[in-house]
Amino acid sequence: MKVADTRISRSIRQNILDGLRIEAVNWAGSLEETEFLERVFDLSRMPSADSRFRDAAGDIWQHRVNNYDWPDDWIFSDDRFDLLGCSDDIFLRFLSEMVHPVVRPNRDEALRLVSHINDQLQKAGWGLVRKELIAGRPKFVGVQIKRGRIHVRAHSRARTVADALDAGWMHKEIQRLEAAVEQDPALAIGTAKDLVESCCKTILNKLGRPPSKSDNLTKIAKSLVRELELVPEGIPEQTRGAKTIRILLSNFISITQGLAELRGLYGSGHGRDGSYRGLEPRHARLAVAAAVAFIDFATETYHRRQLVGDGK
């Protein structure tokens, strides 16, 4: 049986580094560059590219601090670090350290960076996933995503949403999703509905518009759509695809209605008769993907409106 190639290819690495260049990301974050690199590499054992210094730490200081005559993205093309050809472990450690809370204390900045990186890593079956919290901020590690679990993009986006909303209980629901989607589709479907409800309630509470305890998911979701103006009124007719955009956004609420109905029909928490036959994991994955699409879009819209409100 042929083993799948899960190495992170040169092209995927190049795409990640190109993205960092385009966005002008400060890869060392709040640390000095030598301080950052020493978290991954032993600079004292690496040669200097400048004959005046005995090791890499010396020439990095000379050309990035003393003279400042190397470009900001010098690390991406330095053969000593060889980010395009080094081991997967080293490459993933470099990326993980870039979003470490000590290196990048701004939670939103770190989460955006993780999202961009995972867009590429998922192609090779890898992803940066949250391992633990440090002072309330997520620490990420690179892991290989096994077959039979939720696709890396789905569960990494769900975790990103939970981190962005600082909603610890959502992480518990995500953990249940990951564990149940293959072995217990009914539980995964029920949890997907709960995840959407948690997201809606969290954002509404942050907006100062908490829902009533008696409100069902559909009513809660409609309140969120209204508060965030997810279905814009002013899309000009001359905009290409204006009608399609309006239809797509107008049907956004149907995701929550569908999840609620699916949970009622097939999800956990309801008694069944002896002839009942549940759905398969592929149906559970569809429900999870729909739930993640909803919470991802809603959360990003919420944060964009917060930035506009702050004048950023």
Helix/strand/coil (H, E, C) string of 53-118?
CCCHHHHHHHHHHHCCCCCCCHHHHCCCCCCCCCCHHHHHHHHHHHCCCCCCCCHHHHHHHHHHHH
User: How do residues 155-164 score in pLDDT, each as one tens digit?
Assistant: 666 767 767 6
Last residue of a domain, one of 92, 125, 145: 145
User: How do residues 218-265 score in pLDDT, each as one tens digit?
Assistant: 889 889 888 887 765 555 655 555 667 667 766 777 887 788 777 776
Domain hosting 136: range is 10-145
Judge whether 162 lies within some domain. Answer: no
Tell me what pLDDT residue 57 has.
92
Judge whether 157 lies within some domain. Answer: no
Of 31-45, 144-158, 189-203, the least confident: 144-158
Average pLDDT over residues 8-31: 95
The more confident residue out of 102 and 155 is 102
Residues 6+ apart with CB under 8 A from 10: 84, 85
Judge whether 160 lies within some domain. Answer: no
Same domain, 77 and 22: yes
Q: How far apart are the first and last CA of the chain?
A: 54
Considering the entire predicted model, what is its pTM? 0.56
Which whole-number Å values give the CA distances from 97 to 24, 44, 140, in the listed order? Answer: 17, 19, 8
Tell me what pLDDT residue 89 has.
94
Judge whether 161 lies within some domain. Answer: no
Q: Are 55 and 49 in contact (CB under 8 A)?
A: no
pLDDT of residue 93 exceeding 70: yes
Judge whether 254 lies within some domain. Answer: yes
Judge whether 22 lies within some domain. Answer: yes
Same domain, 91 and 42: yes
Residues 6+ apart with CB under 8 A from 48: 54, 55, 56, 58, 59
Tell me what pLDDT residue 180 has.
66
Same domain, 23 and 132: yes
Last residue of a domain, one of 97, 128, 145: 145
Judge whether 176 lies within some domain. Answer: no
Average pLDDT over residues 292-298: 84
| pLDDT > 70 in the chain, percent | 74
Same domain, 126 and 201: no
Judge whether 170 lies within some domain. Answer: no
Q: Are 101 and 110 in contact (CB under 8 A)?
A: yes
The more confident residue out of 10 and 303 is 10
C-alpha to C-alpha distance for 146 and 152, rounded to whole angstroms: 9
Q: How many domains does the chain have?
A: 2
3-state secondary structure 282-311: HHHHHHHHHHHHHHHHHHHHHHHHHHHHCC
CB neighbourhood size of 45 (10 A): 8
Angle at CA 129, nearest 5°, toward 123 and 131? 155
Tell me phi and psi for residue 2, to 5 degrees. Answer: -75, 130
Tell me what pLDDT residue 29 has.
96
Same domain, 14 and 139: yes
pLDDT of residue 50 exceeding 60: yes
CB neighbourhood size of 160 (10 A): 24
CB neighbourhood size of 202 (10 A): 23
Last residue of a domain, one of 100, 125, 145: 145
Same domain, 141 and 185: no
Scored b (16 or more CB within 10 A) or e, 58-86 reads bbbbbbbeeeeebeeeebbeeeebebbeb
pLDDT of residue 147 exceeding 60: no
Tell me what pLDDT residue 167 has.
63
User: Which residues does residue 140 pair with via DSSP β-bridges, in sequence order?
Assistant: 130
- Write down the mean pLDDT value for the chain: 80
pLDDT of residue 193 exceeding 60: yes
Residues 6+ apart with CB under 8 A from 164: 107, 108, 111, 299, 303
